Copies of this chain bind each other. A is one copy, B any other.
């Protein structure tokens, strides 16, 4: 089961103009598709970020992994760590917290680990979820991920989702996503408009869907006092309040004063953030993301830690394709203490994918665990070729929502502790 070969293919897919605290999604989202093949000819799949600097690190790590056994988790990790060295990478888009060396290693390791689990599952006829302790649920519930958005990328025709720039637009978007996917909980990406205006949108969602759990995520665009004010205003309305203010200290200040749990994928994004966050009671819910928590096995360990400390669990998402959705679904299926619906950008990818259709589907807002073996998904090589060509042609080499926004609004400033 030694690794013989690695292929890393950068891809691009169309992305709508989704607004957030740092700017607006560009017309193309980037990902990397990792294929790991063993000496006995089994290929496993992984998916990660597509930024040029990350691709370079993936290639460097891949080179070091040739010849290592696909189930030698610790050995693979050490090789990746050695390849990353002392690099500290902070995401360019500013939406997944600060950088650290451990987070950098974890992010580079992740797609290889997922691919190796896929291999192990295929080699033994087991699902990845079985390798993680076995599923505790047959389907994983996801949340409708609502975004303020323009009707179209400037200069292009309107996309089919339409504009969402006020409470009515957000409610209409929620209605569309619920109709198409059956979602049973709703998350609003905030940090775009003044907080009171976004709180109005949450109230509008509550009025329209009184039975659905609600969340808002301003990506740390608010100050602690604003977060406390809005948090109190939304008492009884929100399931949790996600990353209202920056940093562990800011979150702790807010957590002590609002009635709902605070969730994060920004203040606590790597192992060394957990001790201070726990000591300061900064968070009530951790949004795991195997793409930067070191893959699936390490994510189950973080989940176990959260169970020990009484921290709730949900799951974070960046724009992604089907390999990531499969990995997220296997992971979430195998975590007993996952107690909130997961995030996913899947609706915004609107049918574009690198995997063959049929393996993943939404029913009642949940993705049934694919039967496997492994991740249970296979590459659609034609689709992969098209998406790789799109990558070659699109001209984007790293995600930069701020620069794209500034191409239309030169005075735009990313919001961090702004309001």
Q: B275–A308 contact, CB under 8 A?
A: yes
Cα A123 to Cα B301 with chains together (Å): 25
Cα A277 to Cα B331 with chains together (Å): 29
Cα A133 to Cα B298 with chains together (Å): 10
Cα A271 to Cα B275 with chains together (Å): 16
Q: B305–A73 contact, CB under 8 A?
A: no
Q: B134–A75 contact, CB under 8 A?
A: yes
Cα A130 to Cα B76 with chains together (Å): 12
Return the CB mask of A333-344 against B: 1 if under 8 Å, else 0.
Answer: 010100000000
Contact among B74, B308, B334 with A305 in the assembled complex (CB-CB below 8 Å): B308
Q: A304–B298 contact, CB under 8 A?
A: yes
Q: A123-148: which have CB < 8 Å to B?
A: 123-124, 126, 130-131, 133-136
In the complex, A71 has a CB within 8 A of chain B: yes
Q: Chain B residues near A72 (CB, 8 Å)? A: 130, 133-134
A301 and B309 in contact (CB under 8 A), knowing A71-B130, A134-B75? no
Q: Chain B residues near A272 (CB, 8 Å)? A: 308
In the complex, A43 has a CB within 8 A of chain B: no
A308 and B74 in contact (CB under 8 A), knowing A69-B134, A134-B69, A279-B279? no
Q: A41-96: which have CB < 8 Å to B?
A: 69, 71-75
A74 and B133 in contact (CB under 8 A), knowing A304-B304, A305-B308, A308-B305? yes
Contact among B126, B135, B274, B304 with A301 in the assembled complex (CB-CB below 8 Å): B304
Cα A32 to Cα B157 with chains together (Å): 72
In the complex, A307 has a CB within 8 A of chain B: yes
Q: A134–B271 contact, CB under 8 A?
A: no
Return the CB mask of A300-335 against B: 1 if under 8 Å, else 0.
Answer: 111011011110000000000000000000000010
Q: B133–A297 contact, CB under 8 A?
A: yes
Q: Chain B residues near A133 (CB, 8 Å)? A: 72-74, 297
Cα A347 to Cα B152 with chains together (Å): 75
Q: Chain B residues near A135 (CB, 8 Å)? A: 74
Q: Chain B residues near A334 (CB, 8 Å)? A: 74
Q: B307–A74 contact, CB under 8 A?
A: no
Cα A131 to Cα B1 with chains together (Å): 13
A308 and B71 in contact (CB under 8 A), knowing A133-B297, A279-B279, A297-B133? no
Residue in chain B with minimal CB distance to A301:
B304
Give the shortest distance, in Å, between A274 (CB) and chain B (any CB): 5
- 16 A-B pairs besides A69-B130, A278-B278 with CB distance below 8 A are A69-B134, A71-B126, A71-B131, A71-B134, A74-B135, A74-B136, A75-B136, A271-B308, A274-B308, A275-B278, A298-B304, A300-B301, A301-B301, A301-B304, A302-B304, A305-B308
Q: Which residues of A contact B (CB under 8 A)?
A: 69, 71-75, 123-124, 126, 130-131, 133-136, 271-272, 274-275, 278-279, 297-298, 300-302, 304-305, 307-310, 334, 336
Chain A to chain B contacts (Cβ below 8 Å), 23 pairs? A69-B134, A71-B130, A72-B134, A74-B133, A74-B334, A74-B336, A75-B134, A133-B297, A271-B308, A272-B308, A274-B308, A274-B309, A275-B308, A275-B309, A275-B310, A278-B278, A298-B304, A300-B301, A302-B304, A304-B304, A304-B305, A305-B305, A305-B308
